[in-house]
């Protein structure tokens, strides 16, 4: 802990001869700036999650929930489209500062636009859509941050650094809704600032992100942030090479293993997003909860899940020092993901039944709760139990926390010391596509029921788990070693080398 705060280089790190004490400290200051960027980009999602729908209704009372779906789909779409470009551009530059500064500026402008929408007289909902799309483009910074961590850490540091990056992002998602709740006391009318614009309980989220975006730009100044390509230095020393490009070009890419990791990351994201989208419909249909009860109990469940994730992010590094990263990934993430889907398959013989809430009306009139009659499968499929639901969600949080972190770490190590901007864009695009497709699980649930929804999820996750288990030995990181004398002789004159 003391080392983490003071950033003092240990004797062991100094003995490697890769950097001076000052360079070591600057490198870790820069990595902490990257942590903040990760926190900020995910805060932008979390802080508007609970307030965007009432904000939309206040801007345009005629807006439909379909349009709300567009507002949530646009950011990952923007990230999906622009991440490859920024990843490619990052590989062409000697410093990632310029693309990061550009993306943080876009982020700040997007949130200014989000905060002043009510100053426009027409087309307000479309302006909100543009603002959310710009935020999505800005989150391409996550791709650059992942690539930077891969280049600015040694192999032994990478898992811990990616875990802390994931923790920063998780905290952003957690803190966002809390901040929105804290400022709800401002009210819908809010207050005027110097007679120029109004701050309300809805647009305060935008202003908070604007302030943090400007602070982020300060952190990206050369005094705080510098590029530190320690990974290629480590590879060059291991190989005894003097040219960085020749070092990473000599390492062959393991395309099959890379495909496995991209698939695993995509499935993790897809199942997690799908389940998060299904939380409320399942709670209302299966447990006969009211809207108020659903919000209350799901809030507790999601908070507990977020805390579990935070604890796991901190435990991953020591866990991976005791067990291999591959085994932790395969069993701790993919097996847990498979079981989380399997336990959600309903058991029993009694079908789900809707009933009328007892509100003291003897005529039998009340508010219909439970599975609606429009979902015909409710009459033949048993309900999901609360214990099933809780166990499944807990396993999902464990799986998601371990899986997304270690899949990034293993993916990065499979690529070796080469520039990883474009490759990390591939991983980001896979996650963005999953966030776009994941909500489609609601359609499967409504039309076909829980057997198809979670039976399909079990088959998908089970196949990926078996695939990774069979080929787990091929998911080892690239080890760059200096050729032995015998190997050098074999290359120079193989016919004279004694076998």
Whole-number pLDDT of residue 396 = 94
- Percent of the chain, pLDDT > 70? 88
* Range in 20-29, 301-310, 346-355, 464-473 with the lowest mean pLDDT: 346-355
> Has residue 357 got a pLDDT over 70?
no
Q: How far is 233 from 214, CA to CA, in rounded Å? A: 33
> Has residue 220 got a pLDDT over 80?
yes
* Range in 216-225, 231-240, 276-285 with the lowest mean pLDDT: 231-240
Structure-derived torsion over alpha carbons of residues 80, 81, 83, 84, reported in degrees to the nearest 10: 120
Scanning 191-333, the segments in alpha helix (DSSP H) are 204-219, 230-239, 244-249, 255-286, 291-322, 325-327
Average pLDDT over residues 62-81: 82
Whole-number pLDDT of residue 102 = 96
Structure tokens at 89: 């551009």
Q: Please indicate, yes or no, whether residues 281 and 195 belong to a single structural domain of this protein.
A: no
Q: How far is 472 from 413, CA to CA, in rounded Å? A: 14
Work out the angle between the directed axes of helices 52-59 and 124-138 (0-180°, nearest 10). Answer: 150
Q: Please indicate, yes or no, whether residues 209 and 296 belong to a single structural domain of this protein.
A: no
Please indicate whether residue 381 or residue 351 has the higher confidence score (pLDDT): 381
Q: What is the longest distance spanned by two Cα atoms in the chain?
A: 101
Q: Please indicate, yes or no, whether residues 302 and 418 belong to a single structural domain of this protein.
A: yes
The reply to whether 31 falls in a domain is: yes
Q: How far is 295 from 272, CA to CA, in rounded Å? A: 19
Say which DSSP state 93 is in: S
87 within 8 A of 424, measured Cβ to Cβ: yes
Distances (CA, A) of 347 to 78, 351, 354: 41, 10, 18
Q: Please indicate, yes or no, whether residues 333 and 441 belong to a single structural domain of this protein.
A: yes
- Radius of gyration for the chain, computed over Cα atoms and rounded to the nearest angstrom: 25
**Angle (nearest 5°) at CA 231 between 228 and 233:** 85
Q: How far is 309 from 405, CA to CA, in rounded Å? A: 11
The reply to whether 403 falls in a domain is: yes
The reply to whether 131 falls in a domain is: yes
pLDDT band, very low/low/confident/very high, at 494 (cuts 50, 70, 90):
very low
Whole-number pLDDT of residue 245 = 66
CATH number of the domain encompassing residue 47:
1.20.1250.20
Nearest to 41 by CA among 90, 133, 107: 107
Neighbouring CB atoms inside 10 A of 20's CB total 11
Please indicate whether residue 189 or residue 413 has the higher confidence score (pLDDT): 413
- Percent of the chain, pLDDT > 90? 32
* Per-residue pLDDT tens over the stretch 78-128: 988 999 999 999 888 888 899 999 999 999 999 999 999 888 888 888 999
Q: How far is 484 from 322, CA to CA, in rounded Å? A: 30
pLDDT band, very low/low/confident/very high, at 416 (cuts 50, 70, 90):
confident
Q: Please indicate, yes or no, whether residues 100 and 218 belong to a single structural domain of this protein.
A: yes
Whole-number pLDDT of residue 6 = 67
Q: Please indicate, yes or no, whether residues 72 and 28 belong to a single structural domain of this protein.
A: yes
Q: Please indicate, yes or no, whether residues 78 and 150 belong to a single structural domain of this protein.
A: yes
Helix (H, G, I), strand (E, B) or coil at 197: strand
Average pLDDT in the chain: 83
Distances (CA, A) of 491 to 104, 250, 347, 487: 50, 14, 64, 6
167 within 8 A of 310, measured Cβ to Cβ: yes
The reply to whether 193 falls in a domain is: yes
Structure tokens at 244: 């960085």
Say which DSSP state 352 is in: P
Nearest to 473 by CA among 264, 268, 325, 265: 325
Which residues partner with 199 through β-bridges?
A: 191
> Has residue 28 got a pLDDT over 80?
yes
Nearest to 403 by CA among 263, 498, 264, 256: 264
Task: State the DSSP string of 136-160.
Answer: HHHTTHHHHHHHHHHHSS-HHHHHH
Q: Please indicate, yes or no, whether residues 321 and 175 belong to a single structural domain of this protein.
A: no
Q: How far is 67 from 456, CA to CA, in rounded Å? A: 28
Q: How far is 316 from 406, CA to CA, in rounded Å? A: 9
- 22-46 in b/e form (b: 16+ CB < 10 A) is eebebbbbbbbbbbbbbbbbbbbbb
The reply to whether 452 falls in a domain is: yes
Q: How far is 329 from 404, CA to CA, in rounded Å? A: 9
Q: How far is 47 from 204, CA to CA, in rounded Å? A: 10
Q: Please indicate, yes or no, whether residues 177 and 130 belong to a single structural domain of this protein.
A: yes
Cα 196 versus chain centre, distance: 37
Say which DSSP state 484 is in: P
pLDDT band, very low/low/confident/very high, at 495 (cuts 50, 70, 90):
very low
Whole-number pLDDT of residue 479 = 60
The reply to whether 153 falls in a domain is: yes
Structure tokens at 165: 């990056």
* Range in 17-31, 144-158, 188-202 with the lowest mean pLDDT: 188-202
Please indicate whether residue 296 or residue 4 has the higher confidence score (pLDDT): 296
Number of domains in the chain: 2
Whole-number pLDDT of residue 361 = 43
Which residues partner with 302 through β-bridges?
A: none
Please indicate whether residue 410 or residue 291 has the higher confidence score (pLDDT): 410
Q: Please, which residues have CB within 8 angstroms of residue 183's CB and are 6 or more apart in sequence?
A: 201, 204, 205, 208
> Has residue 171 got a pLDDT over 60?
yes
The reply to whether 67 falls in a domain is: yes
The reply to whether 101 falls in a domain is: yes
Whole-number pLDDT of residue 354 = 62
> Has residue 365 got a pLDDT over 90?
no
Whole-number pLDDT of residue 486 = 41
Structure tokens at 60: 């345009």
Q: Please indicate, yes or no, whether residues 158 and 28 belong to a single structural domain of this protein.
A: yes
Q: Please indicate, yes or no, whether residues 187 and 272 belong to a single structural domain of this protein.
A: no
Nearest to 163 by CA among 434, 406, 365: 406
Average pLDDT over residues 305-315: 89
467 is in which domain, residue-wise? 256-353+370-481
Q: Please indicate, yes or no, whether residues 375 and 457 belong to a single structural domain of this protein.
A: yes
pLDDT band, very low/low/confident/very high, at 355 (cuts 50, 70, 90):
low
């Amino acid at each position: 802990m003391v080392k983490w705060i003071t950033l003092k280089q240990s004797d062991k790190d100094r003995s490697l001869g890769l950097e001076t004490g000052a360079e070591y400290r600057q490198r870790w200051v820069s990595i902490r700036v990257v942590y903040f960027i990760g926190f900020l980009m995910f805060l932008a999602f979390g802080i508007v999650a609970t307030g965007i729908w009432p904000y939309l209704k206040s801007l345009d009372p005629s807006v439909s929930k379909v349009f709300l779906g567009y507002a949530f789909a646009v950011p990952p779409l923007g990230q999906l489209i622009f991440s490859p470009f920024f990843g490619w551009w990052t590989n062409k530059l000697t410093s990632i500062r310029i693309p990061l500064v550009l993306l943080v500026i876009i982020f700040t402008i997007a949130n200014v636009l989000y905060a002043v929408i009510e100053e426009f007289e027409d087309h307000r909902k479309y302006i909100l859509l543009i603002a959310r799309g710009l935020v999505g483009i800005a989150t391409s910074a996550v791709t650059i941050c992942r690539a930077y961590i891969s280049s600015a850490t040694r192999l032994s540091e990478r898992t811990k650094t990616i875990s802390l990056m994931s923790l920063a992002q998780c905290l952003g998602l957690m803190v966002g809704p809390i901040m929105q709740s804290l400022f709800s006391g401002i009210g819908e009318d809010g207050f005027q600032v110097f007679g120029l614009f109004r701050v309300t309980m809805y647009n305060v989220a935008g202003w908070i992100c604007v302030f943090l975006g400007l602070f982020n730009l300060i952190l990206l100044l050369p005094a705080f942030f510098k590029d530190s390509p320690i990974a290629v230095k480590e590879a060059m020393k291991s190989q005894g090479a003097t040219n960085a490009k020749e070092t990473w070009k000599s390492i062959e890419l393991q395309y099959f293993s890379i495909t496995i990791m991209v698939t695993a990351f995509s499935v993790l994201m897809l199942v997690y997003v799908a389940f998060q989208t299904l939380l409320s419909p399942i709670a209302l249909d299966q447990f006969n909860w009211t809207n108020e009860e659903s919000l209350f109990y799901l809030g507790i469940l999601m908070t507990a899940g977020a805390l579990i994730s935070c604890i796991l992010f901190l435990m991953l590094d020591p866990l991976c020092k005791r067990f291999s990263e591959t085994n932790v990934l395969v069993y701790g993430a993919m097996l847990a993901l498979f079981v989380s889907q399997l336990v959600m398959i309903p058991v029993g013989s009694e079908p789900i039944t809707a009933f009328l809430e007892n509100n003291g009306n003897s005529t039998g009139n009340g508010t219909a709760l439970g599975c609606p009659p429009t979902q015909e499968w409710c009459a033949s499929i048993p309900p999901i139990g609360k214990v099933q639901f809780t166990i499944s969600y807990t396993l999902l949080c464990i799986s998601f926390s371990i899986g997304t972190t270690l899949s990034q770490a293993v993916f990065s190590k499979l690529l070796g010391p080469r520039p990883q901007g474009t490759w990390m864009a591939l991983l980001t695009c896979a996650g963005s596509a999953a966030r776009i497709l994941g909500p489609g699980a609601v359609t499967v649930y409504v039309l076909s029921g829980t057997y198809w929804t979670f039976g399909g999820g079990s088959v998908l996750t089970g196949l990926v788990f078996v695939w990774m288990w069979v080929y787990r030995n091929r998911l080892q990181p690239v080890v760059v070693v200096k050729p032995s004398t015998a190997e050098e002789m074999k290359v120079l004159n193989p016919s004279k080398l004694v076998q």
